């Protein structure tokens, strides 16, 4: 997915959003009730080209008795988003022996961030899970993105994105560790996936279906004015090499997706296959999460007609650019971790993406995300 360290072009636009409703007598209010003051939000996007972080989205909020910046008391047994207030983009989460591990894109002087939790809500930041890059990867430049980890036998195998020196494209590497928190090591001579003729590859995800392992990824075509697609390819039993040829599953061919589909994650529910993904400009309010239903782990896949299922909330409180999702089944409940841009108390979009958590319910075979939520929610029930 588009991460820190890439040139991002923001097109000039001003979006005026009027937030708040007048009190209506039809809603049971007194005929003499006065209207609620309206909060006005201005999103200003300025045309720039830069190589670090996107410009801030500035919001101005009129005074309102419903000020959402006010402190909220969280009842016992509840949590409130975000669950990790740290620059922690593209979180991938899985559980090992009762401990939850979350891995994220480079930040805070770490190639791959890792955090641990016993309840999915309270997180402790760890060290660098991938402290050294392989010799094929370029150092520096905030170019290590979107890790995914799978336990294969006694080893923990990490798939991650880094810059390939030979092609100067983002490509996918594989590293191993004896412990889930690392330290992971990649001794490979070259990336495991690197479609240089399609702009490179990013956003790996591993899925096991019966005895077979599959690697999902996205060609980084939007780096080079090319289409983007999500692919799958079988992995060898040890997860360290590929088998056969990649299969294309979906491409960015719908209006809501803009120029990008990315961050694939295959998820199985009630023996049905769902390919979740993020789409559109990662740095803006159009970034969102959708899914496709698939016949098998290797397709064919059909995009859902109710996409996107998780998107920005452009009213107070703002939630901008949710995506980079990771779904996790805990007992009978499905949960989705994702990132969203931090909005400061002054209403300004910062350069940090924080980790959020919400429920996913299922209705008639369709996933329904209960979010983005900004008020207290019942905490996950960990058995």
- Alpha carbon dihedral 52, 53, 54, 57, in 10-degree steps, equals -150
pLDDT (tens digit per residue) in 17-39: 323 322 222 233 333 233 323 23
Sign of torsion over alpha carbons 302, 284, 42, 358: positive
> Which residues lie below 8 Å from residue 357, measured CB to CB, with a gap of 6+?
79, 81, 83, 120, 121, 335, 336, 337, 380
Q: Name the pLDDT band for 44 (thresholds 50, 70, 90).
A: very low
Predicted local confidence at residue 1, as pLDDT? 57
Within 280-348, strands assigned E span 288-294, 301-303, 320-330, 333-343
What is the rounded CA–CA span in Å between residue 175 and residue 172? 10
Q: Is the pLDDT of residue 301 over 50?
A: yes
Least confident window among 41-50, 245-254, 368-377: 41-50
* pLDDT (average), residues 130-152: 97
- CATH code for the domain defined by 87-378: 2.115.10.20
User: What tens digit of pLDDT does each residue of 272-297 get?
Assistant: 999 999 999 999 999 999 999 999 99
Residue-range domain boundaries for the chain = 87-378
| 204 neighbors 193 (Cβ within 8 angstroms) | yes
Percent of the chain with pLDDT over 70: 81
Q: Which has the minimum average pLDDT: 15-29, 199-213, 274-288, 345-359?
A: 15-29
Contact (CB, 8 A) for 301 and 293: yes
How far, rounded to the nearest angstrom, does the alpha carbon of residue 156 sit from its chain's CA centroid? 22
The per-residue pLDDT for 42 is: 38
For the chain, the average pLDDT equals 85
């Amino acid at each position: 997915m588009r991460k820190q360290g890439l040139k991002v072009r923001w097109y000039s636009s001003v979006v005026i959003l009027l937030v708040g409703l007048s009190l209506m007598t039809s809603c049971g209010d007194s005929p003499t009730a006065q209207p609620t003051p309206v909060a006005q939000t201005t999103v200003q996007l300025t045309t720039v080209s830069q190589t670090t972080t996107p410009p801030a989205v500035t919001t101005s909020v009129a005074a309102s008795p419903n000020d959402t910046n006010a402190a909220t008391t969280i009842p016992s047994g509840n949590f409130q988003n975000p669950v990790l207030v740290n620059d922690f983009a593209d979180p991938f989460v899985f559980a090992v022996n009762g401990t939850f591990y979350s891995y994220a894109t480079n930040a805070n002087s770490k190639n791959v961030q890792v955090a641990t939790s016993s309840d999915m809500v309270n997180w402790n930041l760890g060290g660098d899970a991938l402290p050294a890059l392989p010799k094929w990867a370029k150092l520096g430049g905030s170019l290590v993105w979107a890790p995914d980890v799978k336990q294969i036998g006694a080893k923990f195998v990490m798939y991650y994105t880094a810059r390939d020196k030979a092609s100067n494209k983002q490509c996918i590497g594989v590293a191993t560790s004896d412990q889930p928190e690392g330290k992971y090591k990649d001794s490979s001579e070259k990336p495991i996936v690197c479609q240089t003729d399609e702009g490179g590859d990013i956003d790996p995800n591993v899925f096991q279906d019966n005895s077979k392992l599959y690697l999902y990824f996205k060609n980084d075509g939007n780096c080079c004015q090319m289409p983007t697609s999500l692919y799958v390819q079988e992995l060898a039993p040890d997860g360290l090499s590929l088998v056969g040829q990649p299969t294309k599953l979906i491409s960015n061919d719908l209006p809501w997706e803009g120029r990008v589909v990315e961050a694939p994650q295959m998820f199985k529910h009630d023996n049905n296959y769902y390919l979740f993904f993020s789409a559109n400009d990662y740095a803006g309010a159009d970034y969102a999460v959708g899914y496709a239903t698939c016949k098998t782990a290797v397709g064919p896949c059909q995009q859902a007609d109710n996409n996107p299922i998780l998107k920005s909330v452009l009213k107070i409180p703002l939630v901008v650019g949710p995506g980079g999702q990771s779904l996790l089944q805990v007992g009978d409940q499905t949960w989705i971790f994702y990132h969203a841009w931090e909005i400061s108390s002054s209403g300004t979009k910062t350069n940090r993406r924080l980790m959020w958590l919400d429920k996913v319910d299922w209705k008639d075979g369709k996933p329904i995300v209960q979010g983005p939520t900004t008020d207290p929610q019942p905490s996950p029930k960990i058995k």
